[in-house]
Amino acid sequence: MNCPLRVAAIGLGWVCLNRHLPAMARSRRFDIVGIVDRSPGRARAVAGKHRFRKHSQSSDLASVDWLDQVDAITIATAPMAHFALVREAIALGKHVLTEKPFTMTAAEGDLLVAEAAAADRRLAIVHNFQFARSTRRLFDDMRNGVLGRVNSVDAVQFGNPARRLPTWCDELPFGLFYDESPHLLYLLRAIAGDLSLARSLAIPSRTGLNTPARVEAWFRGTGGDYPIRLACNFESSVSEWYLMVAGEKATGIVDIFRDIYIRLPNDGQHDTLRVLRTSRAATAQHWLQHLTSGVSHLTGRLDYGNDELFDRFARAAAGDTAAIAPIDGAAACAVLRLQHAIIDQAEAIYP
């Protein structure tokens, strides 16, 4: 790639400032031309701090008069604005990378994919955790047979409602579930292939929120004949996300927030010595990886796979269309359809 991809970033919330812009700034594949935000003074302040050449206050692209100077748009606005902004960007001839959740309906997602294909523009989704160091280690173990035959796959989320959350999240279908479940769903798809929903359950919020207290779903996958489960607890006292693959030889566990991968051997009869071996393996791996992930977390350089994701987007825009496959419009729509299937078919359960 001889010339960097000239890009404009739309929506200057926490994700853009702490994930998108740093990932692009670290890469030689991007030239951040300018930024756009609807809040008065925000784009000007951020542009001044980072010395971006252009900035605009706007909620759409039509009034941004310097977009002829960019090749691509990245979108990190509230999900309700994704469809209109992506469609407008494609109509302007721009490649687009947008945050999850993709759109508000499956029909909107399908339309955007079709319009991007017709315009020969690359359309990508921020499904970043599949490129994180810990997740790649799990995938390597599975590919190399280290875990043995897969017996089950679980994606488990505990969410503390007191943590930093977007102000708009409870306006979404099933509230926070709609915003956060794409991460767990694309990780399950990366392991188990195309998924079809078998059953979903929901426990309503006990505090009057649109976000349920619990959501659980079971799937069938084309990648193997084993149970696949998503379990989300949105009324927890801790915030933890885990991806777990139980194999015949060992169990692989990705601690998503800490970017740590732990592999536990088959404990056989579960006698005292084997229990102690499991404890030693778990604690040793956990603390040893804090030497890398922990330091990166403290210094704000834990990228959670965003560097790889943005690199793939830039390569695809430059002509390497294979690079975008795990994050393309088809992947975005597949996850979107799963989200709506879970919501539409959820059986209400009461504690």
> Where in the chain do CATH 3.40.50.720 domains reside?
5-128+304-323
Is-contact 9 2, C-beta < 8 A? no
Tokens of 105: 């309906």
- In this structure, the strands spanning 150-158 and 224-233 are parallel
The pLDDT assigned to 349 comes to: 86
Per CATH, the homologous superfamily of domain 130-303+340-345 is Dihydrodipicolinate Reductase; domain 2 (3.30.360.10)
Q: Which of 248, 258, 252 is nearest to 281 (CA)?
A: 252
Average pLDDT, the chain: 96
The pLDDT assigned to 245 comes to: 98
The per-residue pLDDT for range 264-303, each reduced to its tens digit, is 999 999 999 999 999 999 999 999 998 877 777 776 778 9
Low-confidence ranges of the chain (pLDDT < 50): none
Is-contact 32 24, C-beta < 8 A? yes
Q: Which of 57, 58, 52 is nearest to 30 (CA)?
A: 52
3-state secondary structure of 233: strand
The pLDDT assigned to 281 comes to: 95
Q: What is the CATH number of domain 5-128+304-323?
A: 3.40.50.720
Is-contact 159 131, C-beta < 8 A? no
The pLDDT assigned to 302 comes to: 84
The pLDDT assigned to 350 comes to: 75
> Where in the chain do CATH 3.30.360.10 domains reside?
130-303+340-345
For 142-176, the DSSP string reads HHTTSS-SEEEEEEEEE--TTS---TTGGGSTTTH
The pLDDT assigned to 299 comes to: 67
The per-residue pLDDT for range 301-320, each reduced to its tens digit, is 789 999 999 999 999 999 99
**∠ Cα 222 226 232 (to 5°):** 95
Q: Which residue has the tokens 């996300």?
A: 241
Which residues contact residue 178 at a Cβ distance below 8 angstroms, ignoring those fewer than 6 apart?
79, 101, 169, 172, 339, 343
Q: Which of 59, 57, 62, 124 is nearest to 91 (CA)?
A: 62
The pLDDT assigned to 351 comes to: 64
Neighbours of 8 (CB within 10 A): 26
**∠ Cα 294 295 299 (to 5°):** 120
- Phi, psi dihedral angles at 141 (to 5 degrees): -65, -40
Which residues contact residue 49 at a Cβ distance below 8 angstroms, ignoring those fewer than 6 apart?
none
The per-residue pLDDT for range 57-97, each reduced to its tens digit, is 999 999 999 999 999 999 999 999 999 999 999 999 999 99
Q: Which residue has the tokens 């990886």?
A: 289
Tokens of 178: 């709609």
Is-contact 158 235, C-beta < 8 A? no
